[in-house]
């Protein structure tokens, strides 16, 4: 997502946009973006600085690390960034900052629910829905 610097003035302006999975490039084998990530951004220029308030929302299909079932997680996040206009020629690319923000907040463990029982290491049964006879 590119924002033209020229559009950003002293008065805050709102810009909406979308970032596709390939542009965002955060997919892993166990977490995939569904559709596009939506961005609402309020931008304001203060002398040589651009203040940007981001609101992002997106959905991901995630594979539970315990039971290997897939589940959908909807996420929202709000954050503020400051840019120096001297660092940009005529447009601001915000994809890297949004990607970094998402990766920073990425959960250590991907679980369909906090008490997911996982699969039996012996017979492979999903212990959330079935019980097995293994000891």
Residue 34 vs 132, nearer CB to Zn ion: 132
Check binding of 122 to Zn ion (CB under 5 A).
yes
Residue 18 vs 130, nearer CB to Zn ion: 130
What six digits make up the tokens of 2? 């590119």
What six digits make up the tokens of 84? 């120096």
Q: What backbone phi and psi angles, to 5 degrees, belong to 104? A: -60, -35
Check binding of 116 to Zn ion (CB under 5 A).
yes
Spacing of C-alpha 63 from chain mean position:
16
Coil/strand/helix, residue 126: strand
Site for Zn ion in 96-115 (CB under 5 A): 112
Q: In the set 62, 64, 102, 110, which binds Zn ion (CB under 5 A)?
A: 64
What are the strands, taking DSSP E only, across the chain?
Answer: 2-4, 13-19, 31-46, 49-63, 70-84, 91-93
Closest CA to 66 of 112, 133, 123, 125: 112
Site for Zn ion in 2-31 (CB under 5 A): none
Check binding of 72 to Zn ion (CB under 5 A).
no
CB of 76 to Zn ion, least distance (A): 23
Residue 104 vs 121, nearer CB to Zn ion: 121
Alpha helical stretches, state H, 32-94: none
Residue 14 vs 68, nearer CB to Zn ion: 68
Q: Which residues contact Zn ion (rule: CB under 5 A)?
A: 64, 66-67, 112, 116, 120, 122-123, 132, 134
């Amino acid at each position: 997502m590119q924002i033209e610097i020229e559009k950003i003035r002293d008065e805050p302006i709102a810009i909406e946009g979308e970032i596709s999975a390939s542009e965002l490039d955060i997919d892993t084998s166990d977490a995939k973006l569904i559709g596009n990530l939506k961005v609402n951004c309020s931008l304001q220029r203060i002398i040589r600085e651009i203040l940007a308030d981001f609101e992002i929302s997106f959905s991901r299909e995630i594979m539970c690390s315990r039971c290997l079932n897939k589940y959908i997680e909807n996420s929202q996040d709000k954050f503020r960034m400051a840019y120096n206009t001297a660092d940009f020629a005529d447009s601001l690319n915000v994809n890297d900052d949004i990607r970094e923000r998402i990766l920073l907040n990425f959960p250590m463990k991907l679980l369909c629910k906090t008490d997911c029982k996982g699969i039996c290491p012996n017979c492979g049964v999903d212990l959330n829905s079935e019980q097995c006879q293994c000891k």
